[in-house]
Amino acid sequence: MKLVFATNNLNKLKEVQEMLPKSITLLSLKDINCFDEIEETETTLEGNSKLKADYITDKFGYNCFADDTGLEVFCLDLKPGVYSARYAGEPTNSEKNMQKLLSELRNQKERNAQFRTAVALNLNGDKFLFEGICKGEILTEKQGDKGFGYDPIFKPNGFDDSFATMSSDEKNKISHRGLAIQKLVDFLSKYK
Predicted TM-score of the model (pTM): 0.90
pLDDT of residue 89: 92
Tally of CB atoms within 10 A around 60: 16
Closest CA to 48 of 3, 82, 71, 8: 82
Q: For residue 129, give its domain range.
A: 2-190
Tally of CB atoms within 10 A around 114: 19
Positions marked active-site: 68
Distance CA 115, CA 37 (A): 24
Instruction: Convert the pLDDT of each residue in 62-98 to its tens digit.
Output: 999 999 999 999 999 999 999 999 999 988 899 999 9
The CATH number of the domain where 56 resides is what?
3.90.950.10
Distance CA 183, CA 186 (A): 5
Query: CB burial class (10 A; 0-12, 13-18, 19+) of residue 69?
Result: buried
Q: How confident is the model at residue 29 (pLDDT cuts 50, 70, 90)?
A: very high
Number of domains in the chain: 1
Mean pLDDT of the chain, nearest integer: 93
pLDDT of residue 135: 98
Element (H, E) at 42: none
